[in-house]
Amino acid sequence: MREVKKLLPSEQLTFFGDAANAPYGERPTADIRRLVLEHAARLLQDCKALVLACNTATAVAANELRALYPDTPIIGMEPALRPAALIKAHPVILALATAATLRLEKFGHLQKIHAKNATVIKIPAPNIVRLVEAGLADSPEMDAYLDGLLAPFKQDPPDAVVLGCTHFPFAAASIRRVFGHNIPLFDGAKGTARELAHRLAADGLLAPKDAVGGVTITASDPRSLPLFTSLYFQS
């Protein structure tokens, strides 16, 4: 949402965080599908486009949503393996994501595409979501969790880390404390924002440049509203 806000400042944006059902990455696929379809149906009563700001939700439900709403731009996300694989010849890439994202076919397809050019090591990291949702994105608790999770790779660090969940960029400082501040981190947010801008322009749906944009933050658990506001409006 922050990247969309920067790229499309004239648009009226509605953010919805399903805090009551997080983390999606540990739910059964059928459960994730049901939640995404229900929330999408409600949001699309008022919105001209939908961004699935979740790699897991994208992998589970994007294709079905596009079939249900063929005239509406439905923009998904995927782990940024492509740019990570280009940083050097045959890099070693750690892919941090939820268990669901890593087990689903979409990630397997991406990994297969880049298998000849990069070594991709999958690391489920569900507690990053929990800690971010608890307001502990940059905290001793996050440091301790990631230090333990990534301990096998500290002596021989990877060439890049892919942040395969939209919660994970908020843990970037902790990841860099584990591997050093020069470790390249990749996430799909900027690419997703660019794709949204492209689709809105192609469909004639862009707001006028002189329009006054804004953001409305909503959540399934009202107790998460202060957290979402602080996360998404930080500089």
Residue 165 bears catalytic tag: yes
- CATH domain 81-186 topology: Rossmann fold (3.40.50)
Position 233 scores a pLDDT of 63
Given the residues 40, 165, 193, 217, select the one marked as catalytic: 165
pLDDT digits (tens, 9 = 90+) for 155-164: 999 999 999 9
Predicted local distance difference test score (pLDDT) of residue 26:
84
Q: Which candidate in 1, 36, 54, 128 is catalytic?
A: 54
- Cα separation of 52 and 41, whole Å? 13
Spell out the domain ranges in the chain: 2-77+189-232, 81-186
Dihedral angle of Cα 53, 56, 59, 60, to the nearest 10 degrees: -110
The model's confidence at residue 235, banded by pLDDT at 50, 70 and 90, is: very low
| pTM for the model | 0.89
> Is the fold of 2-77+189-232 the same as that of 81-186?
yes
Q: Over the stretch 177-232, which tens digit does the pLDDT of each residue have?
A: 999 889 999 999 999 999 999 999 999 999 999 999 999 999 999 999 998 888 76
Share of the chain above pLDDT 70, in %: 98
pLDDT in tens, 92-116: 999 999 888 898 888 999 999 998 9
Residue 47 annotated as catalytic: no
d(CA 160, CA 158): 5
The class (CATH top level) of 2-77+189-232 is alpha beta
